[in-house]
Structure 1
Amino acid sequence: MLRYLLVSLILSLLPSFSLWSQTGIIAHRGFWTVEGSAQNSRSSVQNAVDARCYGAEIDVYLTTDGKVVLVHDPVIKGTRVDASSYRELSGHLLSNGETLPLLDEILPLIAASDHTRLVIEIKTNRDKPTEKAAVAKILELVERAGVQNKVEYISFSSHICETIIQSNADAQVAYLGGSLSPDQLKEKGYTGLDYNMRVLKANPQWIARAKELGLSVNVWTVNR
């Protein structure tokens, strides 16, 4: 069943000969390739938990009324997500008929699991104040749910990543952009890199260097 997942590979900090045994599967936008599920849905996260995946990855935006909503694209049917209220967005249904889920509806699924982590991709927002507000709200919800040790954060926005690092020194934060070397990431306080496989093919030495520095290494999306 797991072979149908859209996955990322977590490369361990152990020697390369044992990497495969230490690799974890992350369900990209949840484990949604199951009948009755959809990307970034409640069911896709629950499916990832049920499949005992290492992680369930989701995409989130902050709405104008302070809600953290799961959605990948910045615009839904002509409506810009980060410039809309959740009420304006809630009428849009996912392909399986679910309403757009909120982060605080997803966190209990992770709290109840003893094996699956939540990987939250905070999407680039329309301006830096909105990104800062998004980080603050997400950290608040995660702390309230008591799942700080079960959540990892990723983003293409270095501003978002570094705001998390400044706000919570214990947070696990990985950069998606692919433009920073392991040494640069370590210096800025990141705990890992999360790059497209093309980046690591072009810079294979980064894997070993990241391991030397104690950084996690994630590569996406490997089964396409």
Structure 2
Amino acid sequence: MFILLSMLSYTTIAQPVLSNHTFSQENNQIGILSLPGAEAKFKLSGENSGLFRLKANKLSIRKGSIKSDVKWYDLTITAKTKSGSFEQTFRLVKDEFIRNRVVAHRGAWKNTGATENSIAALQHAIRLGCQGSEFDVHMTADSVLVINHDPTIQGQTIHTSPSAKLLALKLPSGENMPSLESYLRAGMTQNNTKLILEIKPTINKERALQLTKKVMATVKNLKAQAWIDYISFDYTICMELMRLDPHARVAYLNGDKSPEVLAADKLWGLDYNQSVYQKNPDWIAQAKQKGLTINAWTVNNPALLQSFLDQKIDFITTNEPELLLKMIQK
């Protein structure tokens, strides 16, 4: 019985996590390694391990090791504990991510002919030079993660439909409905545009937690952490993301919690509808004071776009990324 309980508790210990996954010529410090729920000693391995240095669980890339033509390095880290060893491979990405505040809502689709939430819309956002491209994730009846805004598509309810049927559907632009894996793989071919992953609310808490774990596992398996910022309307999902990875960048969408509450729960930011800031005009200043990131959605009106630019919020989600980019470049 004791052995069984030990094994069960062992499986609840998370894999090694890293507080950051990027590096640059200007800053060779990457992040801090930890193993949630346990003390551990860490060891670097793999063909790129000699490029990195680990001291007091702080990971850095050795000066002079950064090659101009390399976008990222994979590094395997083993965490040794009293209970055993845990291994995780991280993709450490050269930080060439754009910082212009423009987030393309469901990709860049409105002015390009692409279908929203398609890989083509993502690729258009990347080519435009957006800081981020937002997309929506649901889970099928057989627990496959797919990209779509609504809980239904072409008359099919996603959570009750098999993935084979859904992934065979043709979008208006001719593409197939993308899976999360195919979408992330497309986004990870570059290191300029972040992928803003929205986990959609689902039918109950149990399924929400299952969906969240599946999303996080997919991101970790693909080594996509450097690219991903998470958002959700469901606070349970936000908190589960933080439990699974305390360093995940998680912002809340629903607009019903103050910056003070989000900061107390250690979220990364607030990502509220434009109207929420109009009703609570002091929240932007409060969020800045608390060190939270601030996003407004979905802002398409030029006057409102300019207003949020003037207030120097961190991100603006829009269906008009081309317009916002022009305004920023003036």
Taking structure 1 as the reference length, what is the TM-score of the superposition? 0.86
d(CA) in 2 for partners of 1:69, 1:99: 11
CA shift, 1:79, in A, is: 2.0
* Greater C-alpha radius of gyration: 2
Report what 1:47 is aligned to: 124
Match of 2:169 among 71, 92, 110: 92
Q: Give the equivalent residue in structure 2 for 1:202.
A: 279
Structure 1 segment 57-68 matched on structure 2, within 5 A: 57-68=134-145
1:148 aligns with 2:225: yes
Assess if the C-alpha contact under 8 Å between 2:167 and 2:179 holds in 1.
no
Match of 2:128, as an amino acid?
Answer: A
Q: Pairwise mapping of residues 1-224 of structure 1 onto structure 2 (< 5 A)?
A: 23-224=100-301
**1:35 Cα deviation from its structure 2 partner:** 4.0
2 CA distance for matches of 1:112 and 1:78?
A: 33
Q: Sort the Cα spacing of 1:123 and 1:50 in 2 relative to 1 into closer, same or farther, 3 A.
A: same
Distance 1:188 1:83 in 2: 33
In the alignment, the residues of structure 2 paired with residue 88 and residue 223 of structure 1 have an alpha-carbon distance, to the nearest angstrom, of 35
Check whether the contact 1:111–1:145 (CA below 8 A) recurs between aligned residues. Answer: no
CA distance in 2, matches of 1:35, 1:115: 20
Distance 2:203 2:165 in 1: 18
Structure 1 gaps of 5+ residues are 1-21
| Greater helix content | 1
User: Aligned with 2:173: secondary structure?
Assistant: coil
Q: Please give the root-mean-square deviation of Cα atoms over the aligned residues, in Å.
A: 1.4
Shift in Å, 1:200: 0.4
What is the DSSP-based 3-state SS (H/G/I as helix, E as strand, rest coil) of the residue aligned with 1:133? Answer: helix
Q: Is the 8 A contact 2:139 2:211 kept in 1?
A: yes
Q: How many residues are treated as equivalent by the alignment?
A: 203
Residues of 2 paired with 1:53 and 1:82: CA distance?
31
State the AA in 1 paired with 2:205.
Answer: K
User: Do the aligned residues in 2 keep the contact of 1:111 with 1:146 (CA within 8 Å)?
Assistant: no
Deviation track 1:114-163 (CA, whole Å, cap 9, x = no partner) reads 21000011111111111111111111111122220210111111111111
- Output the CA distance in 1 between the equivalents of 2:152 and 2:219: 25
CA displacement 1:9-58 (0-9 Å, x = unmatched): xxxxxxxxxxxxx7510010011124441100010111111111100100
After superposing on structure 2, the runs of 4+ consecutive aligned residues of structure 1 that deviate more than 6 Å are none
With normalisation by structure 2, the TM-score equals 0.59
One-letter amino acid matched to 1:115: N
